[in-house]
Amino acid sequence: MIDRPYVIINSAMTIDGKIATKIGDSKISSKDDLIRVHKIRASVDAIMIGINTVLIDDPSLKVKYCQGKNPIRIVVDSKAKTPIKSRIISDKDGPTIIAVTKKAPIDRINKLEEAGAKVIVCGEGEKVDLVTLFKSLKDRGIKRVLVEGGGNVNWSIISQGLFDELQVTIGPFIVGGKDAITLVEGNGVEKMEEGIKVKLHKVEQQGDEVVLIYKPLR
């Protein structure tokens, strides 16, 4: 196994497996679930999300529903598209790392650095090389990372076996929509036997929600 931080993926999904509606509304979690997630945020060194989640949700990724310090924020953003006006850059409440590839335009990298972000180059391909990123985070002293989606980032991490816990809240909604983002996107596998295997570690009921905690079967 590569030397990487402990990685927790957390996501809230509807009963039909969507993490947002077809227009990108992702407000699935109850107040109780937000408190649970923010306790995890307060316990990790860094939170990581994909660029689409920045562009659609513009989250601050701060600890708001409990006491605790704000973790480092990381965006997986091959072409350095993170807007300077996004809260992740403009809120100066903690460091922000933008993980890009060699394909990212240098002027965009300069703008993000001028705005206070740390840009790290991970790979030369179309997408950020997550193994390189995780090794680099470990070298920077980051021991625990919370991944908060979206579906494409979840797939990349899960399909490469780069996680230690998968925490999924199922909210009491059914929203449909073939284009609505699901818990994991990506190419998927063809046969069930090729699927990524996990074992159920814990189940919690929170009102009408269920929290499922899985660990990879290694």
Ligand X SMILES: NC(=O)c1ccc[n+]([C@@H]2O[C@H](COP(=O)([O-])OP(=O)(O)OC[C@H]3O[C@@H](n4cnc5c(N)ncnc54)[C@H](OP(=O)(O)O)[C@@H]3O)[C@@H](O)[C@H]2O)c1
Which residues of the shown chain bind ligand X in the complex (CB under 6 A)?
11-12, 19-20, 24, 26, 28, 49-53, 56-57, 76-79, 81, 127-128, 130, 148-153, 156, 181, 185
Cβ closest to ligand X, residue 5 vs residue 151:
151
Sheet holding 6-13, edge to edge: 118-121, 96-100, 72-76, 46-50, 144-147, 6-13, 165-170, 209-216, 198-206
Cβ of residue 207: shortest distance to ligand X, in angstroms? 17
Cβ closest to ligand X, residue 14 vs residue 72:
14
Cβ closest to ligand X, residue 96 vs residue 156:
156
Query: End-to-end CA distance of the chain, in Å?
Result: 10
Cβ of residue 127: shortest distance to ligand X, in angstroms? 4
Q: Residues with Cβ < 8 Å from 132, sequence gap 6 or more?
A: 122, 123
Cβ closest to ligand X, residue 72 vs residue 80:
80
Cβ of residue 108: shortest distance to ligand X, in angstroms? 11
Give the CA angle between residues 206, 202, 182 to the nearest 5°: 70
Cβ of residue 133: shortest distance to ligand X, in angstroms? 8
Provide the token pair at 95. 């460091």
154 touches 147 (CB < 8 A): yes
Q: Report the C-alpha gap between 123 and 138 in whole angstroms.
A: 17
Cβ of residue 153: shortest distance to ligand X, in angstroms? 4
Cβ of residue 177: shortest distance to ligand X, in angstroms? 11
Q: Report the C-alpha gap between 81 and 100 in whole angstroms.
A: 9
Nearest to 50 by CA among 81, 29, 72: 81
Cβ closest to ligand X, residue 41 vs residue 81:
81
Cβ closest to ligand X, residue 36 vs residue 81:
81
